[in-house]
């Protein structure tokens, strides 16, 4: 996958211009990419929330706020060239403050579930907040999605940093997490995660974007077609925490190795699907290194989203309950109107020795990249 990075940079105020000279035998022109900053609103304690607008020369753009490092808009062309916002979100700061679904947020320290909120590290027992049934979810009561991140614009990238103190939400170690967003001329959204700690701790972060390729607030996503390059999922117990077992997808509703609609097998009585009534499972992505993990597409809009990652897993979540907070344009987001593709290590990995480790140590900083490429077909 070729990525487009622009050179010969110039920076001024809150606007970033990146110029690249392109020449052939007959002409020479300059491409300009812009990142602009504006005020989005304030938190309930009066802190300013900033919005960043990343736009390429075709007019496709992404918007991100520093509250929760959240994706708020992804506007790309459909097959007819019409702009479509494919990312669910909210119109006001108050709505983001009231959100309990992590719309567009970077979640951590540990994304998804830790069973009973309990783990042992270096012989010491830790008890975290229980905020999802009997389990700990997405980093706790006040996760990374509910904080204002430090931000800066550098070259053609938007960089957010979060400093998480030792003991915050019950986790050990002072952690520094940096998330770098990029937006290319080829409509590629890149997300680079980097982290370091001064003591052993846990880390499993992801971007919790909710997508509808027909446009946020439109029809159900059950007619979207999906491919996932995974032969296995991690089995869930009744509390939705992993058991430690791997289940083959062959012959089950979790087999997306041949692309089909999300809703095709949703009436299945297969136990892992039936008892939860939706997809909210970790898929074990085949292969290693930076690779294609999934493809989501809509025949209605002609928009295709291809997900690349170096992570071992991806959580497929099809929202099976309405989002209570009113969305953009006064939209009520109903059941099955969005899908999440959350690249990650496996949930509850700290409690399963057969899962890839999520222990972060001072001598081994964390670095991981995920990329979503938007195209048409």
Domain limits, the chain: 9-376
The single-letter DSSP state of residue 110 is B
Mean pLDDT confidence for 139-160? 96
121 half-sphere exposure, CB direction, 13 A CA radius? 21
What's this model's pTM, rounded to 2 decimal places?
0.91
Q: What percent of the chain has pLDDT over 70?
A: 92
SS3 of residue 134 by DSSP: coil
Closest CA to 218 of 39, 116, 22, 86: 86
Mean pLDDT confidence for 5-28? 33
Q: Looking at the annotation, which residues are catalytic?
A: 208, 342
Mean pLDDT confidence for 278-288? 98
Give the tokens for residue 232: 């296995």
17 by Cβ neighbours in 10 Å (0-12 / 13-18 / 19+) ranks as middle
Write out the DSSP string of 303-338.
EEEEEEESSSEEEEEE--S--SS--GGG----TTS-
Whether residue 104 is preceded by a cis peptide bond, meaning omega within 30 degrees of 0, is no
pLDDT band at 179 (very low <50, low <70, confident <90, very high): very high
Closest CA to 181 of 277, 363, 52: 52
CA 246 to chain centre: 23
What phi, psi does 178 have (nearest 5°)?
A: -120, 130
| Residue 64 scores a pLDDT above 80 | yes
Mean pLDDT confidence for 111-129? 98
Closest CA to 49 of 74, 63, 68: 68
pLDDT confidence of residue 185: 97
pLDDT confidence of residue 228: 99
| Residue 240 scores a pLDDT above 70 | yes
pLDDT confidence of residue 32: 61
Rounded to whole angstroms, the Cα distance separating 87 from 84 reads: 9
pLDDT confidence of residue 48: 98
pLDDT tens column, 305-347: 999 999 999 999 999 999 999 999 999 999 999 999 999 999 9
Mean pLDDT confidence for 295-299? 98
Give the tokens for residue 222: 């059950």
SS3 of residue 261 by DSSP: strand
Task: Tell me the sheet residues that pair with 247.
Answer: 233
Residues contacting 16, CB < 8 A, separation 6+ = 9, 33, 34, 35, 153, 155, 156
24 by Cβ neighbours in 10 Å (0-12 / 13-18 / 19+) ranks as exposed
- Kindly report the CATH number that applies to the domain delimited by 9-376: 2.70.98.10
């Amino acid at each position: 996958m070729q990525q487009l990075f622009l050179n010969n940079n110039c920076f001024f105020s809150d606007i970033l211009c990146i110029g690249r000279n392109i020449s052939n035998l007959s002409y020479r022109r300059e491409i300009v990419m812009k990142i602009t900053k504006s005020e989005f609103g304030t938190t309930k304690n009066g802190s300013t929330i900033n919005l960043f607008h990343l736009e390429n020369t075709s007019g496709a753009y992404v918007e991100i706020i520093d509250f929760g490092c959240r994706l708020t808009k992804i506007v790309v062309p459909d097959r007819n060239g019409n702009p479509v916002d494919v990312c669910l979100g909210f119109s006001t700061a108050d709505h983001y403050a009231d959100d309990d679904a992590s719309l567009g947020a970077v979640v951590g320290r540990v994304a998804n579930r830790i069973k009973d909120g309990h783990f042992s590290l270096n012989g010491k027992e830790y008890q975290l907040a229980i905020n999802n049934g009997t389990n700990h979810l997405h980093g706790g009561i006040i996760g990374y999605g509910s904080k204002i991140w430090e931000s800066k614009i550098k070259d053609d990238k938007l960089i957010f940093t979060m400093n998480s103190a030792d003991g915050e939400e019950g986790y050990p170690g002072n952690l520094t997490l940096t998330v770098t967003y990029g937006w290319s001329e080829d409509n590629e959204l890149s997300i680079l995660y980097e982290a370091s700690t001064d003591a052993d701790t846990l880390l499993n972060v992801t971007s919790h974007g909710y997508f509808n390729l027909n446009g946020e607030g439109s029809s159900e996503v059950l007619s979207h077609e999906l491919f996932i390059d995974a032969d296995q999922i991690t089995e869930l117990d009744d509390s939705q925490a992993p058991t430690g077992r791997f289940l083959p997808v062959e012959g089950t509703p979790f087999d997306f190795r041949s692309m089909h609609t999300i809703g095709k097998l949703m009436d299945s009585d297969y136990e892992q699907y039936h008892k939860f009534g939706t997809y909210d499972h970790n898929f074990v992505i085949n292969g290693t290194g930076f690779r294609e993990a999934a493809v989501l597409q809509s025949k209605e809009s002609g928009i295709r989203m291809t997900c690349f990652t170096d992570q071992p897993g991806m959580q497929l979540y099809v929202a099976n309950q309405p989002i209570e907070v009113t969305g953009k344009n006064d939209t009520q987001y109903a059941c099955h109107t969005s899908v999440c593709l959350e690249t990650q290590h496996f949930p509850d990995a700290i409690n399963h020795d057969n899962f890839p480790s999520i222990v972060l140590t001072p001598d081994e900083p964390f670095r991981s990249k995920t990329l979503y490429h938007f195209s048409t077909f």
